[in-house]
Amino acid sequence: MKRSIQLVVVLILGGAIGTWLGMNVMTHGQQTGTMAESTESVEREPLYWVAPMDPNFRRPGPGKSPMGMDLVPVYEASEPGMVSISPTFQSNFGVTTELAQRGRLSLSVDALGYVDYAEDKVAHVHPRVSGWIQKVFVFAEGDVVEQGEPLFEIYSPEVVSAQVELIANLNRQNSNLITASERRLSLMGLSQAAIDRLKRERVVQDSIEFLAPASGVVTQLMMREGMYVTPAVEMIEIVDLSKVWIRAELFESQQNWVELGQEVTVSIPSMPGQNWLGEVDYIYPSVNESLRTMEVRVAIDNSEGILKPNMFAELEIAAGVTKAGIVIPEQALIRGERQDRVVVKVSDEIFRSVPVSAGLGADGQIIILRGLNAGDRVVTSGQFLIDSESHIGAESARMNGQ
């Protein structure tokens, strides 16, 4: 009987000890699990994974994009619109930054144009009397003539009558009428040398030579021997090519960059290695309606005669120095339909897209008028992916009422 009672007591005590040990093991296990969970909560977990070239391609875990690239983790940031990127990813993806600095830009405007005649060096020759061409001394377009050389001879009854009148007035020795007759012959186109010879020899000339009013190249020739001409007929056009104009087209947005007197370097693609210096001579007052361009004119010295009309030309206009502003690399600027943006590196891992107002740009640099401060670090590579994530985060926060 006693042995039975002792056995029951042993069984009861054993069960109690087993239960106590089991409870202690479970509690320890629970504590161990809690510590593991606490450790994992310290390490940040990605919200999702996206394709580097397509932020709309998202996956809950790592993998490959449709282009075969490794997916990029996206972490939750402290404020809406901010994006957290690990240093490892920044290095692998090639994220680069540069400091925004206060400075100035030297602007230069590149344009295309062509060589044209200098219109103030063009001479049109019309006969001042009606008559018949007896002889011509210029036979083809492109001939070079010098000022004072004979161009053609005309027989004109009007000129013959005026010569007879001058001789008669000379015989009368009427100084007033002599002066009037000389003036009339001069207006008809006779040279002073021909008038002096007439006064000296007092012999009427049937054909009168008409001389070149300027030196240059004959660009139009519309006369032949035997033609009957009137003052309305343009017989010869002479262009002096010692100075030429370069006409160039600029974009409408560049009109505020160019001013009169700015230095221009002209090069001809067909003549590599040669440059000509000139200056902006005139800015035309109207804009081409279809092309939305404006035309400028550059005067170039061509005393050597190398530049030919209608040659293509490349121009570099020194448009001056801009006012001081915040200067960043132009590649850092993200052009938008409604708003330009720049991605700013807030800290080692935090980035944010900020709206900016951009000004003039030159030589790979651009001035930011509003939105940045000197010393801000802007992203110059990889900014498009960061910008898209920043906008997605900001829109999500807005929709959630944050």
CATH number at residue 339: 2.40.420.20
Give dist(CA 56, CA 65) in Å, integer. 11
Q: What is the CATH number of the domain that holds 300?
A: 2.40.30.170
**Residue 289 pLDDT:** 84
Question: Residues near 285 by Cβ (< 8 Å), separated by ≥ 6?
Answer: none
Rounded to two decimals, the pTM is: 0.55
Q: What is the CATH number of the domain that holds 167?
A: 2.40.50.100
**Residue 292 pLDDT:** 87
The number of beta carbons lying within 10 Å of the beta carbon of residue 28 is 10
**Residue 266 pLDDT:** 94
End position of a domain, from candidates 201, 233, 265: 233
Range of the domain at 341: 77-103+324-399
Per-residue pLDDT of the chain (402 residues; tens, 9 = 90+): 444 434 333 333 334 333 333 333 232 333 333 323 333 334 567 777 878 777 678 788 889 888 888 887 776 554 556 777 888 888 887 888 999 989 887 778 889 999 999 988 999 999 889 999 999 999 999 899 999 899 999 999 999 999 999 999 999 888 899 999 999 999 888 888 889 999 999 989 888 888 898 899 999 999 899 999 999 999 999 999 999 999 999 988 777 788 888 889 999 998 988 999 999 999 998 888 888 889 999 999 998 889 999 999 999 988 767 777 889 999 899 888 788 889 998 888 888 888 898 887 777 888 898 889 888 999 998 888 787 766 665 555 454 444
**Residue 391 pLDDT:** 63
Question: Residues near 262 by Cβ (< 8 Å), separated by ≥ 6?
Answer: 279, 280, 317, 318, 319, 320
Strands 150-155 and 275-287: unpaired
Query: Does residue 283 share a domain with residue 215?
Result: no
Query: Does residue 63 share a domain with residue 30?
Result: no
Give dist(CA 73, CA 59) in Å, integer. 10
3-class secondary-structure state, position 260 = coil
Phi, psi values for residue 8, rounded to 5°: -65, -40
**Cβ proximity of 270 and 291 under 8 Å:** no
Query: Does residue 360 share a domain with residue 335?
Result: yes
**Cβ proximity of 239 and 117 under 8 Å:** yes
End position of a domain, from candidates 277, 294, 321: 321
Q: For 37, what's the count of Cα atoms within 13 Å in the CB-facing half-sphere? A: 6
**Residue 346 pLDDT:** 83
**Residue 108 pLDDT:** 80
Give dist(CA 306, CA 322) in Å, integer. 35
End position of a domain, from candidates 233, 263, 288: 233
Number of domains making up the chain: 5
3-class secondary-structure state, position 247 = strand
Give dist(CA 233, CA 227) in Å, integer. 11
45 secondary structure, DSSP code = P
CA dihedral 159, 164, 166, 171 (to 10 degrees): 170
Give dist(CA 111, CA 313) in Å, integer. 9
Per DSSP, which regions of 146-274 are E strands?
Answer: 150-155, 207-211, 216-221, 228-229, 236-239, 243-251, 263-267
**Cβ proximity of 94 and 382 under 8 Å:** yes
